[in-house]
Every structure is written in C-alpha cells, then in structure tokens.
Amino acid sequence: MRRKIFTLIELLVVIAVIAILVSVLLPALNSARKKGQAIGCVNNLSQLMKGHLMYADAQDQWMIGCQACKAGTKTWLGWAYFIVEAFPYVKKQIIRCGSNPVLPKMLSYATDWSWRCYGMYAPKDRWTGSYYNDRVEETGDFAVKDEDGTRAFRLTKMKGPSRIFLLSDSGRFASSPGVASYKMHPTFPLENSSAIFLLHISRANLAFADGHVEARSQSRLQSDGFTRMALEDGTVLTF
C-alpha cells in the first residue's frame, strides 16, 4: 500500500490554519490570564486587610500606617513587616500583586522586602494639603504621625470606613520603573514618584478600611480625586 505524502502546498495550508487559530486564541488566553491575575490580586488584598484588622484588634484599634520603627531599634520598616513577621497574620507571598515587576532578590532582606509591596495610603496632606483635609468631615481625622515618623491609623476615628481606601496596586516611577512601592498618595509623588498602578486591564485594585476590595478604572479614580496614576506600560498620568 502506498504511503500518503503531504505536498508542500498542503503543509503550508496546515501551517496557515494553525497560525490563524493561534492569532485568534492568544488574545483570549491573554485576557483570561490577566483576569486571573486580577482575581489573585483581590484575594491578596482581602487577606492583607484581614491581617491589618487583626493587628488593630491586638493594638487597641491602632492600625499600622505605611512605616514604623522595628520595636527596640531605629530600623525603619514598611508596613508589611509588622503583619508578616512582627505579628505573623499573613504570608509574605501575598504582600504584592503578582503582576507587579518585582525581582526575587528584592524580597530577600527584612530591610528591603517590606518596602516592595502594595502601597499604603500615606496622607501627606493630613498636615500639609487638601486630599485628606477636604474629606475629614466625611471620613474622620484618623491619621497620626508620631514625632519619630511612625505612621498609624486610629480605626475608632474613622467615619464610613467603606469609603476610606488604605491599600492599592502601586508603583515607583522615578527609578526601577513600576517596582512596587510601600506607600502612595492620590495626588502627590511620594517615594520615587510613586503612583497608583492600573495593572489590571486598565484598573487598579484598592482595599478599604472595612476590609472590602474594589477594582476601579481611571475615570472612577479621577472622580474620586486621584490626580496621579500609571498605566500598565509605566506611563504616569497627571491631571
């Protein structure tokens, strides 16, 4: 019996069909991957807020802000250290979004990894500006800065905690563009020009003081008063 041999034209047709199928399927697969990353990020933030609230329950309703000194030292650490190691309520693996471009070596040392995480709202204008101060009547005067620079939030002074965002996708854009930053502000460039990061199909995930998490678009963030945000490609937008 003669063996059937594919002709060059038949092979080219097969290759063309495969190429078409790949071009059709790849966008769908990429979209599914991004949606999966967004869901993973929401889960991370939800667990982190549970950890922060457990910390507050153990600390007379004081929640750690973006930074503080390690107990008994003058070593400054980001918020993540205090709910991962000092009070191990959550795992280190969830302190940042998997979509954020952080190199593994950045998570190696206690004085380094705690700065490369989701951005904690740092209300710089609690003392100097307008974003926080303009909302005091609505959200309460809950931000505290000690003389040594420690930042903290007083939960009992929060009004409507479901309206107060505390953690978000973040990035630093003056150096190591996009790398996660431990603190951010809606209108002011803090550490290395940090900004909220629209990592998830033009949306950023935010965690609120009552524990819930939301994905918000650029237009929604603008209506919320955000004037600094960054796109997935690292472009920083200011309004």
The per-residue pLDDT for range 153-205, each reduced to its tens digit, is 999 999 999 999 999 999 988 866 678 889 999 999 988 899 999 999 999 99
Which pLDDT does position 131 carry in this prediction? Answer: 93
**Other C-beta atoms lying within 10 Å of the C-beta of residue 136:** 13
Dihedral of the CA atoms 68, 69, 72, 74 (nearest 10)?
Answer: -160
The per-residue pLDDT for range 55-102, each reduced to its tens digit, is 999 999 999 999 998 888 888 889 999 999 999 999 988 998 988 876
Calculate the average pLDDT of the chain: 87
Dihedral of the CA atoms 55, 59, 62, 65 (nearest 10)?
Answer: -50
* Range scoring the smallest mean pLDDT among 103-107, 126-130, 223-227: 103-107
Say whether pLDDT at 48 is over 50: yes
Which pLDDT does position 71 carry in this prediction? Answer: 82
